[in-house]
Amino acid sequence: MEFILFIYLKTKTMKKWNWKSVLLYVVRLVELIVTGAVGGAAGSVL
């Protein structure tokens, strides 16, 4: 949660960022979290 808040604050302060790159960054972050969660679940089952 703190990490998400940190990213939010960074994007607020850096308004020069173009939104496509921010969106891409968020999507990659979500992908990492999802694959990590799935990998962790699969690892605990096996």
Q: Which two tokens mark 44?
A: 């605990």
- pLDDT of 13 reads 63
Alpha-carbon gap, residue 19 to 34, rounded angstroms: 22
If one counts every other C-beta atom within 10 angstroms of the C-beta of residue 24, the result is 11
12 within 8 A of 1, measured Cβ to Cβ = no
Q: What is the pLDDT of residue 2?
A: 78
* Residue 21: per-residue pLDDT: 80
Q: Where are the alpha helices (DSSP H) in the chain?
A: 2-13, 19-45
Span between the terminal Cα atoms of the chain, in Å = 29
pTM attached to this predicted model? 0.48
pLDDT for the residue numbered 15:
65
Tens-digit pLDDT profile for residues 6-46: 777 776 666 666 778 878 888 998 898 888 877 777 777 76
